[in-house]
Amino acid sequence: MKTIAVIGGTGMNQWPGLVIESSEEVRTPYGLATGPVVRGHINGHPVLFLARHGEGHKIPPHKINYRANLWALKNAGAQQVLAIAAVGAIAEWFAPGEIALPRDLIDYTWGREHTYHDGVPGTELHHIEFTYPYTPSLRQTLFEAAGAADVVVSGAGTMAITQGPRLETPAEIQRLKLDGCDMVGMTGMPEAALAAELGLEYACIAVSVNWAAGIGTGGIHDEIRESIERGMLKVQGTLVRFLAA
């Protein structure tokens, strides 16, 4: 059994049902991880957990220390990382409250510390392959776990990752749609690439919490309030089955 780490995002700053054994602030060569690395178990199954936005959900997407977070998890023994991400829906099939396992991504972020291969003298330069930003075998196991938990999940989709913290304009969303994106979030990169650089398996469970700007008719924040818990319950059901597999 591989050591599994879950990175919780908006709506999952804590993990209900997680029995905590230890919680440790971790300093890495890249600075402090944005939340403590929590070691615990769910129904007797060991797991690591890290709240991406920090305790109390205070750190905005562009200020998250992604390098420290992935480094800290790898150092704690993680081999597989499951990233939970609340996203806005662009594709019609991805209504608020639904979950998906995206297959691909497009990175629109800028100015973030996005690599461990920074040209430090004496280190080797690597151009990691990123054909599969989300590990196919991990996505497949998650897909099966969702099925076993009676959770409907889409096994597809391309995620746009924008800089935030503001939401997008309707024109920006139309551009993302033309680019082929089905959903939009703010934290998926550089997280996925850093996981790949460290040789970690990585998959994302995306939770649709609103229609992206200009797509829906309601207020975005009202939609988020209304749908986020429904989506997170599906995530938790899937994770319990995944850990038991």
When asked if residue 99 is in the footprint of ligand HPA (CB under 6 A), the reply is no
Stretch of 45-53, 91-99, 204-212, 237-245 lying at the interface with ligand HPA (CB under 6 A)? 204-212
**What does DSSP assign to residue 171?**
H
For position 215 contacting ligand HPA by CB under 6 A, the verdict is no
Q: Provide the pairing of β-strand 80-89 with 183-185.
A: antiparallel
Q: Does 70 bind ligand HPA (CB under 6 A)?
A: no
| Closest to ligand HPA by CB, 36 or 133 | 133
**Closer CB to ligand HPA, 5 or 184, in the complex:** 184
Task: Decide: is 188 part of the binding site for ligand HPA (CB under 6 A).
Answer: no
Query: Do 60 and 165 form a contact (C-beta atoms < 8 A)?
Result: yes
Q: Which stretch binds ligand HPA (CB under 6 A): 132-140, 182-190, 191-199, 232-240?
A: 182-190
- Residue 87 is a binding residue for ligand HPA (CB under 6 A): yes
Q: Does 210 bind ligand HPA (CB under 6 A)?
A: yes
184 near ligand HPA, judged by CB under 6 A: yes
Given CA atoms 75, 35, 65, 28 in this order, what sign does their dihedral have? negative
Nearer to ligand HPA, 36 or 190 (CB): 190
The H or E element spanning position 160 is strand 158-161
Alpha-carbon distances of 64 from 19, 112, 202, 237, rounded to whole Å: 25, 9, 18, 27
Comparing CB distances to ligand HPA, the nearer of 47 and 212 is 212
Helix axes 136-148, 220-244, angle to 10 degrees: 90
Query: Quick one: how many helices (H) and strands (E) in the chain?
Result: 5, 13
Binding to ligand HPA (CB under 6 A) within 154-173 occurs at 162, 167-168
Whether the ω angle into residue 165 lies within 30 degrees of 0, i.e. cis, is: yes
Residue 88 lies near ligand HPA (rule: CB under 6 A): yes
- Give the count of residues interacting with ligand HPA (CB under 6 A): 12
Out of 209, 232, 235, 243, the only residue in the binding site for ligand HPA (CB under 6 A) is 209
Q: Which is nearer to ligand HPA, 14 or 169 (CB)?
A: 169
How far apart are CB 66 and ligand HPA at their closest, in Å?
16
Which residue number is nearest to ligand HPA in terms of Cβ?
Answer: 88
Choices 43-51, 80-88, 151-159, 232-240; region in contact with ligand HPA by CB under 6 A: 80-88
Residue 232 contacts residue 147 (beta carbons within 8 Å):
no
In whole angstroms, give the CA distance from residue 99 to residue 97: 7
CA within 13 Å, CB half, 225? 5
Residue pair 183/94 in contact (Cβ under 8 Å)? The answer is yes
Site residues, ligand HPA (CB under 6 A): 86-88, 162, 167-168, 184-186, 209-210, 212
